[in-house]
Structure 1
Amino acid sequence: MFQHIEVCIDNLESLHYAQQGGATRIELCSSLALGGLTPSVGFMKQAAKHALIPVYAMIRPRQGDFLFSDDEIELMLEDIHAAKQAGLQGVVVGVLTPQSQINRDALTTLVKEAKGLGVTFHRAIDQCREPFEALDTIMSTGCERVLTSGLEANALAGTDTIARMVQHCGNRLSIMAGAGVTADNAVEIIAKSGIEEIHLSGKSTRASHMINVARQAHMGSADIDDFLIPVTSAEKIAAVVRAIQC
């Protein structure tokens, strides 16, 4: 039986839209354009205040690879503690070695800090050379699920590998498919892979409500419109919900 539609968000406005659309869990991030980084403590607290469904905080201190220094691991431990103090239900982590294997010691330390919270291992597994060996390591540390695209650019392309992951883990670890999931392909991904959880953003944008717009001054890259607000589309999430319920 299908269990969860997880929606990743990076602003509070999107939390409301995700819930309106029928999300059953939230992945809380900053900077989704960078693949998702750790949300602020204030964002964690406000999400806990407004959420009617479980919220898992991304614990990723920077963009780039998943090879983290000792200092960065310490930072991640502090952020996990902050998520727990904020009243969230879980965290999302991923740590690798230079050889693209799971960093067992670091992951064990992070999971230990997260005691009392659920732990998802994120798409760092899609960078692993030996994904099934990685799954065994992840299961041994006590994580409850893995988010994966099946080592491909998107979950639809990776359904064969995702199906093998589901068979490999059985009921010891939930496999959640993510990357490029939409109302048009969700049913096919579920049917081909046998997963019970999917992950998506339902990306859309809205225009700024500013009356006066200073186009000459840019807050970052000139290629990015500072007055276009990325938000989750409640309609896109609802369309996925309808598709998988048919």
Structure 2
Amino acid sequence: MSVLVEVCIDSIESLPIAEKAGAGRIELCSSLATGGLTASAGYMKQAARISGIPVYGIIRPREGDFLYNSDDVEIMLADIHTAKQAGLNGVVIGALKADGRIDETVVADMVKAASGMGMTFHRAIDHCSAPFDALEFLMSHGVERVLTSGLAKRADEGIGTLKEMVAFTQGRLSIMPGAGVSPDNAKRIIEQTGVTEIHLSGKTVRNSLMSYRNEKATMGSGDSDFAITVTNPETIAQTIAAIRA
């Protein structure tokens, strides 16, 4: 059985690294530290230009929950249009109501806006109070796959639910485990659930090439602006090797 490995990235530097290591698809994000936010228009265009594998852009306007107001929705619809114009292959979408059920109106609007593109429903499913109802809705609206940890903190802790999801969807929609997927557990997750796709970041940190450094000033919540997060090709390659072993 062939298994596709999707790699989520938050810098253009990571794209060729992931592709060379064997990734079959890219999830294009900014700010993976907050779970992944929408990439800029320029970032999308450059990714589409240089990638030899499909690139799906996450459509998530802010960190936090998946309950979106009308302004958030307008932003997401505009970002889907931007992703389409940039030449991305697909988008990664999701929205919930306050009671945890899928927001069918908002998701349907995003599906309509993304017509002609591939579509993944993101880990909003893991915060959904009726995930199997959500799966039924997504299957009826042509969504290709759902990225999920099986409602657990990590995919290897949600194997039972992942297996139930695979049985429920019966191939009408792909269940793609993500969160904590690694070379150590990828094969077990695949064998115990029957999935044909997995998702990981395989992140590492490289040192900045700056020769001048003012370590007193920092831009974010981290300890240093001189530690750059990038895809670790060894992690991706090792995961693929473990799957094929």
Q: Which range, TM-score by smaller chain?
A: over 0.9
Secondary structure of the 2:135 match is helix
1: distance between equivalents of 2:216 and 2:223? 12
Q: Bigger CA drift: 70-79 or 51-60?
A: 70-79
- What does residue range 188-227 of structure 1 map to in structure 2 within 5 Å? 188-221=188-221, 223-227=222-226
| Structure 1 residue 70, shift from structure 2 partner | 1.2
Superposed counterparts of 1:155-166, under 5 Å: 155-166=155-166
The percent of aligned pairs where both chains have the same amino acid is 55
**Structure 1 residues not aligned, in runs of 5+:** none
CA contact (8 A) 1:102 1:138 kept: no
Determine the structure 2 residue equivalent to 1:109.
109
Q: 1:104, 1:141 within 8 Å by CA — same for their partners in 2?
A: no
The root-mean-square deviation of aligned C-alpha atoms, in Å, is 0.8
Q: After TM superposition, list the pairs within 5 Å mapping 1:128-167 onto structure 2.
A: 128-167=128-167
Instruction: Give 1:40-119 correspondences, 5 Å limit.
Output: 40-119=40-119
Whole-Å Cα distance in 1 between the matches of residues 133 and 12 of structure 2? Answer: 37
Structure 2 residue runs without a partner (length 5+): none
Q: 1:85-108: per-residue Cα shift (whole Å, max 9, x none)?
A: 011100001100000000001101
The one-letter amino acid of 1:23's match is: A
DSSP-derived class of the 2:206 partner: strand
SS in 1 for 2:76: helix
How far apart in 2 are the matches of 1:157 and 1:122? 18
TM-score by length of 1: 0.98
Q: Is 1:234 aligned with 2:233?
A: yes
Q: Match for residue 176 of structure 1?
A: 176
Aligned partners of 2:51, 2:160: CA distance in 1, in Å? 34
Question: Which residue identity is paired with 1:119?
Answer: M
Partner of 2:18: 18
Distance 2:216 2:167 in 1: 55
TM-score by length of 2: 0.98
Instruction: Report the counterpart of residue 28 of structure 2 in structure 1.
Output: 28
Count of residues in correspondence between the two structures: 245
SS at match of 2:52: coil
Any conservation in 2 of the 1:203–1:232 contact (CA below 8 Å)? yes
Counterpart amino acid of 1:7?
A: V
